[in-house]
Amino acid sequence: MSEYAENLSSALAQRRYERIASIVDAAVKKGRGEIFTLTDMLDQVFLNKHLGIPIFLTVLWTMFQFAFAVSEPFVVIIEKIFEMLGAWSGQAISDPHLASFVSLGIFGGLGSVLVFIPPIFGLFLALSVLEDSGYMARAAFVMDRFMYRLGLHGRSFIPLMIGFGCNVPAIMATRSMDSEKDRMITMLINPLISCSARLPVYVLIAGALFGAAYAGTAIFAVYALGIVLAVATALIFRRTLFRGEPSPFVLELPPYAVPDASSSILHMWSRGRMFLKKAGTIIFGMTIIVWFLSTHPWEETSGGQVIAESYIAWIGHAIEPVFQPFGWDWMAAVALLFGLVAKEVVVGTYGVLLGAEEAGLGEALVSQELFTPLTGFAFMAFVLIYVPCVATIGAIAKETNSWRWPAFALVYQTALAFIVSGVIIAAGRLVGLS
Amino acid sequence: MDKLSVKNGKWLGAYAFILGIGYCAAAIVEAAGKPDIFPGGLLSIGVLLVVSATYLMGVKGLISGRRDGISFLMGGLLLSVAVGGLYLLMAGADWLMYLLGEAEDFALLSEISPAIILLVIALPLVPTMRRLTSKMAW
């Protein structure tokens, strides 16, 4: 039935565009191929068959460097504010239970997530500028040729780009796709596109292990890995679960425009506030749970001083063997477990477990030798791939009107995470990395 | 759009050629200066080569007095502004880190990367490009 509907809609689209072509032929008098507008001139370069994709990659690299390298001092400023608040709460609150709750639970956990506001807002600002300038539609167009070869639909590109912000609206954006098969593929691979929730984890790990000079590139590499995996998975799905050719791609390219500062900032804010809202609700709640589990039983942990005796250590040690081959300890196991709710919680969990303020979180990771660059990169890859967050699972369930597909996404992504991280570790060790 | 004269085109073509070679040389220097070019340097080198290719693809058109040459020059200029601007912002961020006490020193000279120098070299093209495209609509 769905195949019949697809054929019908393709036939209707074809007839519609044939009619448009005949009207255009009759009504439009073509010039001598001269370039008339600035948009035509720029399209000659940005849609060039040789330069189009390299320029797109250049734009992406510039965007990520802007978001991460330029935002660094602003991260430090927020770190210093939370440092002061932590010190103040330690001195001002006499009750040790409450002092622990405020300094570790609130300032330690929530604070360690809020420091990622500058890079996240920076990324959203860059995305807004690209959208407002009209370049994003060109990016979709440039990538269509490439994506078609890989069994993806050109229209898939927009939801995939939205996925860099958040996978939930990205999955909802697949509604614009006519073909059910194209839509299903786009929905199922979307969680492999690195959303902003995973960014705090990358910034923490890459910043600590790769240094400022290479952190942006390490993060770019994880983003690129997500794209490569998404494309490869789409190709596999196209040849197995959803056989057939992608439907034709028609896209109207808007003229270029100089982005308006106020509207770009407004777009940035409307996306960024989702992160702030999540930080104030889900992440806050989770950090409180993590604080409770890491400081209780209160007596056995000597008031949260000996985390090894806490409930969370017990949970961590129980699941640690699963992650031991990757070189990750029980803290990583716990962080990944709580990250199922929202990926930012991975950082919040480390904040509470290491008892470090945001400024010292990266240093604590290094000084306690929790990761090497190799195991750290594999951890970043695992966070990228494993189980989509609960909101994304819910969105897939809602859009497919079934729990079968979210369950499938959950299983295949977890398996893929283990395989890819394992390959990274094995390949790294093969070339002599530890 | 103002007419692109052959004389003007040759002058602009030479300028685009110098910039293209400049970016290519910067990429080679960066590659030579970094024995461990994976993973960080590789991408920044790639970016410099893309800007170089954009300028160089416009040279032939500009020398022949064709408008498509201007398109590539304009595209190259936009990329120069984006990449050079990024390095300028990164230098500003390093300065702020120094002011915040997170960096031990701040040496202005070491912050001036080839991308910033090439942006400065490319900037005189802006008035010419504005003149050539002033009557064009978006």
DSSP string of B49-96, one letter each residue? HHHHHHHHHHHHHHHTT-HHHHHHHHHHHHHHHHHHHHHHHHHHHHHH
A380 close contact with B: CB closer than 8 A: no
Q: Mutate which of B78, B119, B134 to test chain A, going by most A C-beta atoms within 10 A?
A: B78
Q: Say yes or no to pLDDT of A381 above 90.
A: yes
Least confident range from A328-337, A423-432, B29-38: namely B29-38
User: Are the C-beta atoms of residues A222 and A381 closer than 8 Å to each other?
Assistant: yes
Q: Are A296 and A352 in contact (CB under 8 A)?
A: no
In whole angstroms, what is the distance from residue A262 CA to residue A430 CA? 51
Contact A58 B71 (CB under 8 A): no
Choice between A290 and B97, residue whose per-residue pLDDT is larger: B97
Minimal-distance CA residue of chain B relative to A57: B47
User: What is the model's pLDDT at position A200?
Assistant: 83
- Say how far apart CA A195 and CA A58 lie, in whole Å: 20
What's the DSSP call for residue A106? I
Instruction: Please tell me which of A257-261, A295-299, A399-403, B80-84 the model is most confident about, judged by mean pLDDT.
Output: B80-84
Judge if the upstream peptide bond of residue A388 is cis by omega within 30 degrees of 0.
no
What residues of chain A lie within 8 A of the CB of B93, using their CB? Answer: 69-73
**Residue A253 pLDDT > 60:** yes
Beta-carbon separation of B90 and A65 below 8 A: yes
How confident is residue A209, by pLDDT bands cut at 50, 70 and 90?
confident
- Which two structure tokens, joined as six digits, stand for A390? 């609960």
In Å, how far is B93's CA from the nearest CA of chain A? 5
| Residue-averaged pLDDT of chain A | 82
Q: What is the DSSP letter of A253?
A: P
Identify which of A58, A53, A275 has the alpha carbon closest to the alpha carbon of residue A144. Answer: A53
Q: Residues B117-131: what's their mean pLDDT?
A: 90
Flag if A48 and B137 touch (Cβ within 8 Å).
no
Which positions 20-49 of A are in contact with B (Cβ < 8 Å)? 34-39, 41-42, 44-46, 48
Preferred mutation among A55, A57, A60, A363 to probe B, highest tally of B CBs within 10 A: A55
Q: Do B50 and A57 touch (CB under 8 A)?
A: yes
Give the three-state DSSP class for B101. Answer: coil
Cα–Cα distance, A42 to A47 (Å, whole number): 8
Query: Which structure tokens are listed for A244?
Result: 């057939």
For residue A239, the model assigns a pLDDT of 86
Q: In this complex, do A39 and B138 lie within 8 Å of one another by their Cβ atoms?
A: yes
Q: For residue A286, what is the enclosing H or E element?
A: helix A284-295
- What is the nearest CA distance from A72 to chain B, expressed in angstroms? 7
A111-161, pLDDT tens digit by residue? 766 777 887 788 888 888 988 898 988 887 887 777 777 777 766 776 787
Looking at the whole model, is its pTM more than 0.90? no
The residue of A35, A42, A45 whose CB has the most chain B CBs within 10 angstroms, and thus the best one to mutate to test that interface, is A45
Contact A45 B74 (CB under 8 A): yes
* Chain B residue numbers touching A66 (CB-CB < 8 A): 86, 89
**pLDDT value at residue A99:** 84
Instruction: Decide if A339 contacts A349 (C-beta within 8 A).
Output: yes
First CA to last CA across chain B, in angstroms?
A: 12
- Length of chain B in residues, anyone? 138
Instruction: Name the closest residue on chain B to residue A210, using Cα atoms.
Output: B40
Determine the pLDDT at residue B38: 43
Q: Are A294 and A353 in contact (CB under 8 A)?
A: yes
User: Looking at this predicted complex, what is its ipTM?
Assistant: 0.90
The 10s digit of each residue's pLDDT in A321-373 is 999 999 998 889 988 988 877 787 788 788 878 876 555 787 888 888 888 99
